[in-house]
A = this chain, B = another copy of it.
């Protein structure tokens, strides 16, 4: 079974055990003949795929009334995978969603690591540091690198921990955030697992 999670920059495939990515700007989806189950946040790609019969959009099997209109389908699939958790998907944006007793309570969006580093750089060359993920968030910083690291990480940490729920990390930067959320569970295949779950639940319709 071939799965594909399509973002703004890449097609992220899972072919049984093997994961690989293709560039959105270069990849031609019509070159694939077999059935592909996908989700897609990229409007342009979505339109292209709607004419290809072997590309099956799994968004069609979600009860969208539980979510809000402009919510990304990747966030929805992350939420669908869990019953009680704060789900953090750390990519170019970091999305944080709360699921309680299988009900989506809402969520927020925080800038991704790369985006936020650029933000500090653009404010002033004096703030052009990489974040220090080993910065001690229990004491107030007394140097510039820690001052921006704390500004980005501690603020975020405070909000997430205020929910007093298990934290699940996914996305490309999950392991970096794990340094801050030391008790969090990393699940890099959360979205693919959610896609498999939806396929299983809708087996009859999909065959």
Contacts and interface: CB of A to CB of B under 8 A. Distances in A.
A108 B151 contact: yes
A154 interface: yes
A52 interface: no
B93 A109 contact: no
A110 B162 contact: no
Interface stretch (A19-27, A116-124, A173-181, A186-194): A116-124
A8 B124 contact: yes
Interface stretch (A10-18, A29-37, A140-148): A140-148
B120 A118 contact: no
B111 A120 contact: yes
A127 B93 contact: yes
A97 B23 CA distance: 44
B93 A124 contact: yes
Interface in A96-147: 96, 98, 105-112, 115-116, 118-120, 122-124, 126-127, 139-144, 146-147
10 contacts: A8-B124, A68-B144, A71-B142, A93-B124, A105-B140, A107-B140, A108-B147, A109-B144, A154-B159, A158-B158
Interface of A: 8, 68-71, 92-93, 96, 98, 105-112, 115-116, 118-120, 122-124, 126-127, 139-144, 146-148, 150-152, 154-156, 158-159, 162
